[in-house]
Structure 1
């Protein structure tokens, strides 16, 4: 697998694990010193550095699974710049979160951008810094 494929897989595993609420898998992608930072309209900025802090952050913000509620992220517009000599890469992409709850139609709950810095550690790509910048948060449609 080449670097481009490995980085794309890392980004997709991040979102897949997030949607499955697999906090341990997401946190492991940051290693000992990677930082996850998030800004979402209506909420204070949040961040955690290292797998332990990232795990604690995600446990606080990812909703507990409940019957009749599902959230899924869709990623698009990946731009990947790799510096093979330095063993680093930068990635930009867009994401949209779709949710559905019992009695509520599927809707876009919010969308935003990801700005990632990656590093190669022992042949494996991991996040050194991931900024998730929410552009807008959308309330669910009212039932009428």
Structure 2
């Protein structure tokens, strides 16, 4: 039996898995009920987020971004009575390609809010603006990070 904590953490991990497998549409679908803060692009919905990913992410011939997103240290504040939760977690993105040795390319924090909708936990808010460390993103983004922040 899933607890609320397990269900919420699984959403964090399903997001990372879908992105790493190049299933951008599936990853965006996790944010169907969400408002996404992505920097200068302003608040986005799931469709806007998918369009942004398709515009900026490099998808390699294998159909994936050749990344591994690790989501760690989730701190969950769950209110069972109201069916809401706030979660802070850390992420580390590693990447390797045929010409790019395995390395950490980014690290930061996610600030998420969840709500129980139709009996299921769902993302209702994500803040992508907590990027703490930036490595070589040349094989991950189609444009320099400064340009993506203005999108």
What is the TM-score normalised by the length of structure 2? Answer: 0.79
C-alpha distance after superposition, 1:97-132 (max 9, x if no partner):
101122332111010000001111101111111112
Structure 2 gap ranges (5+): 138-151
Q: Where do 1:36-55 residues align within 5 Å?
A: 36-39=36-39, 45-55=40-50
Question: SS of the counterpart of 1:15?
Answer: helix
Count residues in correspondence.
134
Q: Residues 1-144 of structure 1 correspond to what in structure 2 (within 5 A)?
A: 1-31=2-32, 33-39=33-39, 45-66=40-61, 70-132=66-128, 133-139=130-136
Is the 2:21–2:65 contact (alpha carbons within 8 Å) kept by the matching residues of 1? no
Q: Which moved more, 1:47-56 or 1:101-110?
A: 47-56
Runs of 4+ in 1 over 4 A off after TM superposition: none
Cα root mean square deviation, aligned: 2.0
Mapped partners of 2:126, 2:60: distance in 1: 24
Q: Is the 8 A contact 1:35 1:47 kept in 2?
A: no
Given that 1:69 and 1:102 are in contact with CA atoms closer than 8 Å, whether structure 2 keeps it comes out as no
Unaligned stretches of 5+ in structure 1? 40-44
DSSP-derived class of the 1:12 partner = helix
Deviates more, 1:66-75 or 1:2-11: 66-75
Query: C-alpha displacement at 1:27, in angstroms?
Result: 1.6
Name the CA distance, whole Å, in 2 between partners of 1:77 and 1:98: 17
Deviation at 1:36, TM superposition (A): 2.1
Q: CA deviation at 1:35?
A: 1.6
Structure ranking higher in strand proportion:
1
